[in-house]
């Protein structure tokens, strides 16, 4: 039987996830606009309104499914990628690297801020939710840094490649999506993500059951 505490936990995790995803995507658009690209603003994505960033499957269906399957202990999701045109940048090779790093960097910052809140919190019901928030943001940051198009890590790698290879590399976005799905099905979270997240939690001195 579903308890009121379970419903509250579900709602709080959903809010943390929506806010984290929104800030992740907004940061991409914000940094891109600072480098001269008007595409994020023109497409209506330079906003903190979560509705502008929602992907029906990645932001709603997948997180709810994971929350249900994990009995409210875990969730993950993604938003619609913010459209960016690197040809508007003054220095495309350099600027695309910082745009790519912006999203994961924001999630790491959120995780650090939540860690500080966790350390100073005196309320018994808060730590569990905060730890979930830390986990969500670490997963968003680390997962997106994987150098497989269309993830953020691919933008970082493309900045380091010659223009010809960079173009061909980023064109692999559609294939990359299938590669990512296959990796997840093959236990990628268990044999790669889990050890990395555990190491980061250890550095933050945060104890979490994952």
Estimate to the nearest angstrom the gap between the alpha carbon of 5 and the chain centroid.
Answer: 26
53 C-beta neighbours (distance < 10 Å), count: 25
Residue 44 φ/ψ region, left for φ over 0, alpha for ψ in the -120 to 50 degree band, beta for the rest: left
In tens, the pLDDT along 54-108 reads: 888 777 777 777 666 666 555 666 788 889 898 899 998 899 999 999 999 999 9
Which pLDDT value is given to residue 66? 67
Domain count, the chain: 1
Span 175-185, average pLDDT: 78
Task: Count the residues in the chain.
Answer: 210
Estimate to the nearest angstrom the gap between the alpha carbon of 56 and the chain centroid.
Answer: 16
How much of the chain exceeds pLDDT 70, in percent? 88
Q: Which residue has the tokens 């936990």?
A: 9
Span 2-15, average pLDDT: 74
Span 6-23, average pLDDT: 83
71 C-beta neighbours (distance < 10 Å), count: 9
Span 164-191, average pLDDT: 79
In tens, the pLDDT along 111-148 reads: 999 999 988 876 665 678 888 899 999 999 998 998 98
DSSP state of 205: T
Q: Which of 2-11, 25-34, 149-158 has the highest mean pLDDT?
A: 25-34
In a domain, 130, yes or no: yes
List the structure tokens of 96. 């695309």
In a domain, 189, yes or no: yes
In a domain, 137, yes or no: yes
In a domain, 210, yes or no: no
In a domain, 45, yes or no: yes
Which pLDDT value is given to residue 1? 56
In a domain, 209, yes or no: no
Domain that holds residue 66: 4-204
């Amino acid at each position: 039987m579903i308890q009121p505490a379970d419903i509250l936990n579900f709602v709080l995790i959903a809010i943390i996830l929506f806010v984290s995803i929104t800030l992740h995507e907004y940061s991409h658009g914000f940094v891109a606009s600072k480098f001269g690209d008007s595409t994020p603003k023109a497409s209506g994505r330079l906003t903190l309104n979560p509705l502008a960033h929602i992907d029906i499957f990645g932001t709603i269906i997948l997180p709810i499914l994971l929350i249900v399957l994990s009995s409210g202990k875990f969730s993950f999701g993604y938003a619609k990628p913010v459209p960016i045109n690197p040809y508007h940048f003054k220095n495309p090779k350099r600027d695309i690297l910082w745009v790519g790093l912006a999203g994961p960097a924001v999630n790491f910052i959120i995780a650090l801020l939540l860690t500080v809140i966790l350390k100073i919190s005196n309320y018994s019901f808060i730590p569990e939710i905060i730890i979930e928030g830390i986990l969500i943001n670490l997963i968003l940051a680390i997962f997106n840094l994987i150098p497989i198009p269309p993830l953020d890590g691919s933008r970082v790698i493309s900045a380091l490649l010659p223009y010809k290879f960079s173009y061909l590399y980023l064109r692999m976005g559609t294939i990359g999506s299938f590669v990512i799905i296959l990796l997840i099905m093959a236990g990628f979270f268990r044999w790669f993500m889990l050890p990395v997240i555990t190491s980061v939690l250890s550095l933050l001195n945060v104890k979490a059951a994952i």
